[in-house]
Amino acid sequence: METNNRYQNVIRRYDQLAEELAKPENIRNRDLYRKLAREHSELEKAVLSIRRYLDHERRYAEDRAAVEEGSDHELVEIARSEMAELEKEMRAEEEKIKLALLPRDPDDSRNTVFEIRAGTGGDEAALFAADLYRMYRLYAERQNWKIENLSSSPTEIGGYKEIIFLVTGENAYGKLKFESGVHRVQRVPVTEAGGRIHTSAVSVAVLPEAEEVDLHIDPKDLRVDVFRSRGPGGQSVNTTDSAVRITHIPTGMVVQCQDEKSQHKNRAKALKVLMARLLEKARSAQAEKIAEARRGMIGSGDRSDKIRTYNFSQGRVTDHRIALTLHNLRGVLDGDLGEVVDGLALAHREELLKREMEADGRAGGA
């Protein structure tokens, strides 16, 4: 009965949100409308499963009544058979409901600052950094997201030592946050004359875009230096001091941006990256205390862990965290990341559900 009351409350909230979304005054209030629409959308999967569950429950009660009456032997057998099937379907729907109603990360709806850096492998790593940037740009296009480049350090042969960009769109951080880590590539580099396969690595960091309400940066804590922009190979690409380097004095964190010809635009972009990094630093310090107790069981989850391998000779992509292998390397690099991204999100939610059930079990046994 308690479970059914909870399910009915979810349906009532869903219907209430639909009514609120239809009100003209809420439609005119863009921020409120967006908030209501997001909650309505998040409840939709749960409501669909709850309605199926309640329908199965109603049919189960009817079958049980037929069995208890027992006047028609053939009808009793049919009812018993259907009850067994309905029990399986109800258990499956309950799992879906639990997953759908798990608390969501409040940062999931944010935009995200995305950082890609070449690691082990020299020029080949820089070229693969460019491949990953293209992959995420194409995936963003499929999601109808916008990408704004914030900072980059290109190489002469078309790669990137580092590229930082902002991804703007619905649930951008929520979908991309599991991309953080080391991405390993195994292929014959264009710079390799002998045809030998090399292994290179690129690191990816995905940060939720910081908002002013998240943290306050005292201007006195910032040192801002300006200098002339320079391109690959050392040649000057700007004759004015438009490039900006911002140092956060208390932490020693340094961000620089030189992509724009305007000093004002470069400063704004550098500050956006700095705020995202400071927010991540503050949250990481807090999360470290919580993670320390669990690290021995599940590993560090540190960004130094290799999370994915792109093997060109075998045409496959393997995500090591969820043991997912796709023989669709070309498609993935062309932005077909849905199966990987969705698989990681589902695995994360299942882990949360497992922890919640374990916590409920401990509370029940106390």
CATH code of the domain covering residue 194:
3.30.70.1660
Calculate mean pLDDT across residues 106-111. Answer: 83
Q: What is the pLDDT of residue 95?
A: 82
User: CA 279, 131, 211 angle in degrees (round to 5)?
Assistant: 20
Q: What is the pLDDT of residue 21?
A: 93
**Tokens 């941006």 belong to which residue?**
257
Q: What is the pLDDT of residue 54?
A: 93
Q: What is the pLDDT of residue 194?
A: 67
Q: Which of 137, 138, 116 is nearest to 127 (CA)?
A: 116
Asked if residue 131 lies in contact with residue 333, where contact means CB atoms within 8 angstroms, the answer is: yes
> Cα 4 vs. chain centroid, distance in angstroms?
32
Write the DSSP string, 318-360.
Answer: EETTTTEEES-HHHHHTT--HHHHHHHHHHHHHHHHHHHHHHH
Per-residue pLDDT tens over the stretch 261-297: 888 889 888 888 888 888 878 777 655 643 443 333 2
Calculate mean pLDDT across residues 130-138. Answer: 97
Q: What is the pLDDT of residue 299?
A: 34
Q: What is the pLDDT of residue 110?
A: 85
> How far apart, in whole angstroms, are the C-alpha atoms of residue 126 and residue 162?
8
Q: Edge-to-edge strand order for the sheet containing 222-227? A: 222-227, 243-248, 253-257
Q: What is the pLDDT of residue 166?
A: 92
Calculate mean pLDDT across residues 6-21. Answer: 91
Contacts of 36 (CB under 8 A, 6+ apart): 17, 20, 21, 26
Same domain, 122 and 80: no
Q: Which residues on adjacent β-strands are paired with residue 338?
A: none
Examine the pLDDT at 6 and tell me if it is beyond 80. Answer: yes
Q: What would the two tokens of residue 282 be?
A: 């503050």
Calculate mean pLDDT across residues 85-112. Answer: 85
Same domain, 176 and 256: yes
Residue 54 is part of which domain span? 2-100
Task: Of 5-14, 87-96, 209-218, 313-322, give the lowest mean pLDDT range.
Answer: 209-218
> How far apart, in whole angstroms, are the C-alpha atoms of residue 242 and residue 259?
9
Of 44, 71, 100, the one marking the end of a domain is 100
Same domain, 144 and 284: yes
How many domains is the chain partitioned into structurally?
Answer: 2
Q: Which of 260, 246, 258, 256 is nearest to 217 (CA)?
A: 246
Whether 300 is covered by a domain: the verdict is no
Q: Which of 216, 278, 214, 206 is nearest to 247 (CA)?
A: 278
Per-residue pLDDT tens over the stretch 300-320: 333 346 899 999 999 999 999
Quote the percentage of the chain above a pLDDT of 70. Answer: 86
Per DSSP bridges, beta strands 181-187 and 243-248 are unpaired
For the chain, the average pLDDT equals 84
Same domain, 325 and 220: yes
Same domain, 142 and 91: no
